[in-house]
Amino acid sequence: MSLFQAIVLGIVQGLTEFLPISSTAHVKVVPVMLGWGDPGVAFTAVIQLGSIAAILWYFWDDLVQVSVNMWRAGRKADFDHPDFRLGLGILLGTVPIVFFGLLIKVLIPDFDNSPLRNSTTIAAVSIVMALLLAGAEMVGARQRGFEKLGMKDGILMGLAEALALIPGVSRSGSTLTAGLFMGLERSTAARFSFLLGVPAITLAGLVELKGLLDTGLDAIAWIPLIGGLVGAVVSSYLAIFWLIRFLKQHSTWVFVWYRLAFGAVILLAIATGRMENL
């Protein structure tokens, strides 16, 4: 992989990690459509660390506040403190994706090469998730703000996050959809989705980074990887900044239509032989 290709994929990763349109789908499909081939699960997971760096950068004050207040509340047995409930919700919400991720590793060792990762499946899943997001937009009450979040929200959105183990689902898309169904305001659902993603994306990236290190990457291989990481950091930060502000004033319908079109274009390209079903 060239440095240019890695930077492009890093930018794609960063923009799509936090927009509800599936980063895994785009990082896999975009290079295939450009004739670059599938970059692989390991590269995709490692450049996600760039997205984590952007989350920490953007939400650092919030994360420190929640962590400190959660610790203090725990010592005082003040389990009704909003930050204690929020922090515990994030921790409990991480359990499902870790559990099911490990379960897949054990039961389906070759999951990365399974039909669930081919372009047809990604396209179909994208369309299904678009319809679910549309449903959430139509029935969601959107009356609960960030201060009303708690453990139950973390667990339910954590279960939704676990669906993102299926390529094309979109971690941010599934959690945002769940949040809207649960009556959260759009910007609140997005903000909590980002915070909930910190442990899960970090763990996934570190595991795959260890795997790459064990293969003994040479200096040439490190250069594209670093380029991809930098591209992911910058584009991720911009995506977070933009989406939170966008959802305060607008609905998610633009993402519904985009995901429907994305899935339809992929299926059409495969059906007409313009794209391989990798």
**pLDDT at residue 91 above 60?**
yes
Predicted pLDDT of residue 70 = 93
Range of the domain at 136: 3-271
Question: Has residue 276 been placed in a domain?
Answer: no
pLDDT at 235 over 90: yes
Could you give the CA distance from residue 162 to residue 254 in angstroms, rounded to a whole number? 24
What interhelical angle do 171-181 and 119-139 show, nearest 10?
A: 20
pTM of the model: 0.88
* Per-residue pLDDT, 218: 60
d(C-alpha 221, C-alpha 209), whole Å: 13
C-beta separation of 188 from 149 below 8 A: yes
Most confident of the following: 26-35, 195-204, 235-244: 235-244
> What angle do the packed helices 151-162 and 82-107 form, to 10 degrees?
20
Please, what is the Cα angle at 179 between 164 and 71, to 5 degrees?
A: 90
Residue type, 274: R
Does 55 map to a domain?
Answer: yes
Rg (CA), the chain: 18
- pLDDT at position 216, please? 60
Nearest to 165 by CA among 252, 90, 105, 255: 105
Task: Read off the pLDDT band of 65 (50, 70, 90).
Answer: very high
Q: Name the phi and psi angles at 131, rounded to 5.
A: -65, -40
Q: Are 50 and 10 within 8 A, CB to CB? A: yes
| Pair of tokens at residue 156 | 């339910």
Q: Residue 135 pLDDT > 90, yes or no?
A: yes
How much is the average pLDDT of 124-139?
96
3-state secondary structure (DSSP) of residue 144 = strand
The mean pLDDT value for 242-269 works out to: 95
Q: Are the beta carbons of 202 and 212 closer than 8 angstroms?
A: no
Q: Is residue 200 part of a domain?
A: yes
Q: Average pLDDT, whole number, for the chain? A: 88
User: Using 50, 70 and 90 to split pLDDT, how confident is the model at 215?
Assistant: low
Amino acid at 106: V
* 85-89, 207-211, 215-219, 230-234: range with lowest mean pLDDT: 215-219
Structural domains counted in the chain: 1
pLDDT per residue over 218-229, tens digit each?
A: 654 788 888 999
Residue 277 falls inside a structural domain: no
